[in-house]
Amino acid sequence: MTRCRESYALMGALALLALGCSVGEGEGSIKSQRLFVRDCWNGAFDLRPDFFATNVFSEESQLIRIQRGDNLQEISDGVMVMVLDTDGVRAALGTAFEVGVAKGASPPGVPIVYDPDPPLVNISLYLHDSCHEHNATLHSIDGSITFSSLFSGDVNEQDGSERLTRASFSARFADPRDLVPGEEPDEAVVSQVEGKFSFYFQRGQPAQPFP
């Protein structure tokens, strides 16, 4: 059985321990005609994911990880989808939810501004395998994600249909260091990424803070 043994960063903010994690197979596609990661990548990208997992942080939130290979996130390429309101998303399946910059992700030296109505979903893309010598995490800056199904968040869920997560997204990504507050980002540093994924939650061993 694959083990979810690592600790997760909440989109570059506080490190949190999961209450439970999923391990398992699924299907999906994460592609970009031109992905830009400073000093590492500038061209077509195809993640070809084969690892799909969900970590439940609380009754309200869960973190979806779509990755190539089941190694630690710190040495892998993948995408993280942070759902901040599980019930809110499940109540509006089929709705295109806006995605944006995750809380805590801002250019160096720029204070974090309180957002009274933050996006319910944030996405980040990391290339820690392909770009292991560089800071290789991009954050969604705009776009949308649509869930046709979302895991209930109950790690003891017995109903198979309630364990299914299926979604597609189309969003622009960028490194927060390349963003200027209040200004439209330079298209040269922005990446358009399309993705879709489908998998069932399977209860695994609890995540551990260290490998």
Map out the domains of the chain as residue ranges. Answer: 8-200
Averaged pLDDT, 12-23:
39
What ranges make up the beta strands (E) of the chain?
8-9, 15-16, 20-21, 26-37, 41-46, 51-56, 62-68, 77-83, 96-100, 121-127, 137-149, 164-174, 191-200
- pLDDT at position 14, please? 32
Give per-residue pLDDT as tens, 108-130.
444 455 556 778 999 999 999 99
Mean pLDDT across the chain, nearest whole number?
Answer: 82
Contacts of 117 (CB under 8 A, 6+ apart): none
Residue 7 binned pLDDT confidence (cut-offs 50, 70, 90): very low
Residue 8 binned pLDDT confidence (cut-offs 50, 70, 90): very low
- pLDDT at position 112, please? 52
DSSP structural state of residue 172: E
- pLDDT at position 101, please? 75
CB atoms within 10 A of CB 177: 12
CA–CA separation, 160 vs 147, rounded Å? 17
- pLDDT at position 186, please? 87
- Where residue 159 falls (left for φ over 0; alpha for ψ -120 to 50; beta otherwise) is beta
- pLDDT at position 202, please? 86
For the entire predicted model, the pTM comes to 0.80
SS3 category, 78: strand
Averaged pLDDT, 11-40:
69
User: Is the pLDDT assigned to residue 74 strictly greater than 80?
Assistant: yes
CA–CA separation, 9 vs 148, rounded Å? 26
- pLDDT at position 4, please? 37
User: Is the pLDDT assigned to residue 200 strictly greater than 90?
Assistant: yes
